[in-house]
Each structure stands twice: as C-alpha cells, then as structure tokens.
Structure 1
Amino acid sequence: MESNNITYQDLKNYKYDLKRERSVYFIQLYKIIDLLLIKTTPKFLHSWRVFIYRMFGASIGEGVKISASAKLLYPWNITIGNHCWIGDNVELYSVDKIIIGNNVAFAHNIFVATAAHDVNKILFPTIKKRIVIKDEAWISSNVFINMGVTLNKGVVVGSASVVTKDLPEGYICVGNPAKPLKERKTK
C-alpha cells in the first residue's frame, strides 16, 4: 500500500491535559509506597494492602482481598464494595472513576481501562470515561474492559473477552467484542 502525506497524529506536540486530582509529588509518593509496602507483601496480607490504598484515597468496603501484584493506578479514583476479590495482575487503570459493587470477583491478568486517545484528532488527546461494575459480577482471566462501560449485576465475562459495550444483568458474556451467550442460572 502506498503511503500518502497525511499526518494522523503528532506526538511531538502531545500534551497530557487531564487532571490527575493529586500533585505529582503525591503520585510519586504513592508509587514508592506501592513498590515498597504493597508489592512486597505476602499473599495473606490483604488488610494491610487495603489499609494503604485507603490512605491514598480509595473507598474500599469490608472483606476485600487485593492481590499484591494488582495495580491500582490512582486509588483516589477507585470505589470497591464489600467482599470483593481483585486477583493477580489485575490492573485498574483509574484515570477516571472505577466503581465496583459488592461481591465482585476479578480473576487474574485483567486490564480495566478508563482512558485512551482520540484517534480522530491530530494532537492525539487523552480521553477518559468511568467504568461501573455492579454487584456479583465475575470477570474471568485475561479480560480487557474498555472505558465507559457498565457491567450490570451478576454478569460473567468469559476468559479472554474484550468488553466494549454495556453487558446485561445476569448473563454470561464472551468474545471479542463480548456478547451475551446465555443467562446465568444459580442454585
């Protein structure tokens, strides 16, 4: 294919213009504490990790278990309900709000992205939208959840799925993009 002289993005003139809601020093302090006092903790020290995340502004309910290898980018943009599990290598890329209900389970290797870039503008600006994951959802391994979506109550997202749109209550959803496969039946 022949290339034309159209410029699609100009990164030389890119400027990150979203507010991080905290100073650069506060963010760096959090990153150091995360590296030294969260990432190095044994698996069973969930309450210690929750304590530190709360110190940095996260709203976290009771009985929450967060893996030491999980990454919470900006804890002050994260709300987690009661009795949730955040598994190994889950990344909550919380440039915007991530709101997680009660009894939500994240398996491992999951990326929850509240930000991206506007590919239709030459200066490639960063854009953001919140993500809401309602009560009793289960996100299986190796899932990507895109900005601006809501996973409704009781949703199951199957392994290796890509969530680009809201998913309906009580359905098992799979694929790229994730779509409802069948109703979730519990006994």
Structure 2
Amino acid sequence: MSQVLEASRTNPREGGASFPLRHRAFRALWNVTWALLASWTPPPLHGWRRFLLRLFGAKLAPTARVYGGARVWYPPNLEMGAHSVLAARANCYCMDRVSIGAYAVVSQGAQLCGGTHLIDDAHFQLITKPIVIGANAWIAAEAFVGPGVVVGEGAVLGARGVAFSDLEAWGVYAGNPAKWLRKRNDTVTGGAGAFAPEP
C-alpha cells in the first residue's frame, strides 16, 4: 500500500518529504541493519538474510534467495516465492508491492522500479504502482522493469532490456523499449540451473 504524501503540500522539489516521517525512519533503520549485518555476507548465508528481511516485514518463501549485494528499498512491499532469486546488485526499488514468483530470477544489476512522477504536474507528484514477476520468469542482467508492469509466467527480459508495459507469458523480449522476439519453450520448469545467477 502506497504511503506517498501530496507533493502540493510537502513540496519535494524544494527538499520536502515524499513519505511520512515514520516511513522514512523505518527505511533508515532498515538500511543500517542491511549494511551492517547482511550486505557483506557470503553468498551461502541466504537463511540469515531471509531472517533479516522477514524481521522487517518481507514475505519470503523458505527457499527464496536474496544475495547480500541486492538492495531492497522497503521490505514490507517485497514478496518472493519458492526458489526465487534476487541477485547481487539487483535493486528492488519497491515503493509499491513487488511480487517475485516461484523460480523467477532477477539477475545481477537488474532494476525493479515501483515509482515514477507525474511529469505534467507542477509539483512533480510521486506515484507508485506494483510490479509482478511471474513464476519461472527471468529478468536478465541490468534490465529495467518499470512501475505497474506485469511480467508473465516464464517470460524473459534480456540483458539491459527496458519494460514499461506488460510482458506476455513465455515471451522473450529485448531492447529499449523491450520488444517481443519469440515464444519461449513453455515446458521449462522450476529449478532449471541455467537461470541461476552466479553468486
């Protein structure tokens, strides 16, 4: 659920806040906790990082894997299914709900951005929209998924691809903006080692 303040009242363009004080304090505590206790931890310590994320409100399956180099902006907005992966240097900018389905992989340096601004608004109002990454989908290295995008089950967004609209299930996409290339074999099942990122 979004907690965005009205820009016409807080004037963030001149340094005002976009989120309430309590929200900002929570994020500050989270950032310090992750930096001190998780960001530097060896790749195998997924259980410890899951514990910290859950402590701050994330909903993670027992087998979800978040690497230490990943960034999660606001843990209560993150949901991850069984054997899903948020790789090193992935930026989960979850200003709104981000759901990552079972066996889905968000690779190194990928960006999941749940917020944007109303560019025709005089106050540059921030708005947020949820992101859904379907089961068995793959967001490849340094790709970008924008606010409100649904990545269908089994879809692939190629390296450095940019998605601002939904990607159909089992489609393969690449480029900026992402364009459909072909259909992926929809017999691919969870656990395929080819999609697991390097630690």
Structure 2-normalised TM-score? 0.83
Bigger Rg, structure 1 or 2: 1
Which whole-Å CA distance do the structure 2 matches of 1:147 and 1:96 have between them? 8
Partner of 1:70: 70
How far residue 113 of structure 1 moved from its aligned partner, in angstroms, is 0.4
Is the CA contact 1:140–1:158 (under 8 Å) kept in the aligned structure 2? yes
Q: Secondary structure at the match of 1:181?
A: strand
Letter in 2 for 1:138: W
Q: Map of 1:24-43 to 2, 5 A cutoff?
A: 24-43=24-43
Letter in 1 for 2:152: N
Which whole-Å CA distance do the structure 1 matches of 2:67 and 2:83 have between them? 14
Letter in 2 for 1:163: A
How far residue 38 of structure 1 moved from its aligned partner, in angstroms, is 0.9
Structure 1-normalised TM-score? 0.88
Which whole-Å CA distance do the structure 2 matches of 1:98 and 1:26 have between them? 18
Partner of 1:11: 13
Runs (4 or more) in structure 1 with deviation over 6 Å come to none
How far residue 19 of structure 1 moved from its aligned partner, in angstroms, is 5.5
Which whole-Å CA distance do the structure 2 matches of 1:19 and 1:95 have between them? 13
How far residue 28 of structure 1 moved from its aligned partner, in angstroms, is 2.0
Q: Secondary structure at the match of 1:180?
A: strand
Q: Map of 1:38-49 to 2, 5 A cutoff?
A: 38-49=38-49
Q: Aligned residues, how many?
A: 177
How far residue 18 of structure 1 moved from its aligned partner, in angstroms, is 4.5
How far residue 42 of structure 1 moved from its aligned partner, in angstroms, is 1.2
Partner of 1:85: 85
Is the CA contact 2:12–2:18 (under 8 Å) kept in the aligned structure 1? no
Structure-2 change in CA distance of 1:184 and 1:19 (3 Å): farther
Which whole-Å CA distance do the structure 1 matches of 2:143 and 2:40 have between them? 25
Q: Map of 1:49-68 to 2, 5 A cutoff?
A: 49-68=49-68
How far residue 43 of structure 1 moved from its aligned partner, in angstroms, is 1.5
User: Which structure 1 residue ranges, 5 or more long, are not aligned?
Assistant: 1-8
How far residue 10 of structure 1 moved from its aligned partner, in angstroms, is 8.7
Alignment of 1:134 with 2:162, yes or no, is no
Q: Secondary structure at the match of 2:148?
A: coil
Q: Secondary structure at the match of 1:92?
A: strand
Which whole-Å CA distance do the structure 2 matches of 1:106 and 1:83 have between them? 12
Which whole-Å CA distance do the structure 2 matches of 1:166 and 1:23 have between them? 29
Is the CA contact 2:27–2:73 (under 8 Å) kept in the aligned structure 1? no
Q: Secondary structure at the match of 2:41?
A: coil
Partner of 2:125: 125
Q: In angstroms, what is the RMSD of aligned CA positions?
A: 1.9
Structure-2 change in CA distance of 1:123 and 1:46 (3 Å): same
Is the CA contact 2:58–2:75 (under 8 Å) kept in the aligned structure 1? yes
